[in-house]
Amino acid sequence: MALLPPIPAKRYFTISEVALLCDVKPHVLRYWEQEFVQLRPMKRRGNRRYYQHHELLMVRRIRSLLYDEGFTIQGARNQLRTHAGESVDPSQLNAGQIPGAGALPLPVLEAAVLPAAQDSTVTPAQLRQELLQIRSLLSL
């Protein structure tokens, strides 16, 4: 399994950033968009793609299935579909665990998947900066 760089705490990533963070070429990402319904980045003017954190995680999962675990495209599709339809045992939710996550306690999983969610206090200056970034993305 390839060691991939950590994902920065950003809302949106360009296709070139995702390519670097996931160690795949941009044309491969565009191809995967056609093959996997779970991968739908937001498109703005000129068809510029903007990936969100969950889509970047999906790209890494697809990459792992195809490159590390040796699945075909169809096999990876089936694998993603199978894991998306897993039922959650209520006793596991009460214990703070999620199936398929290696039985990690929920706080540990949240810290690994959602680093920005740890600090729920946002200053007005941070909120303003984030809104300005979103506005600039929307005006592209």
Tally Cβ neighbours within 10 Å of residue 20. Answer: 14
Per-residue pLDDT tens digits of the chain, which is 140 residues long = 568 888 888 899 999 999 999 999 999 999 999 999 999 999 988 889 999 999 999 999 999 999 999 999 999 999 988 877 554 444 433 443 334 433 334 444 344 444 444 455 778 888 788 888 887 777 76
- Which sequence spans correspond to the domains of the chain? 1-86
Q: What is the CATH number of domain 1-86?
A: 1.10.1660.10
Helix-strand-coil split of the chain, %, nearest 5: 55, 10, 35
Q: For residues 56 and 7, is the Cβ–Cβ distance under 8 A?
A: yes
For CA atoms 10, 83, 25, 111, the dihedral sign is positive
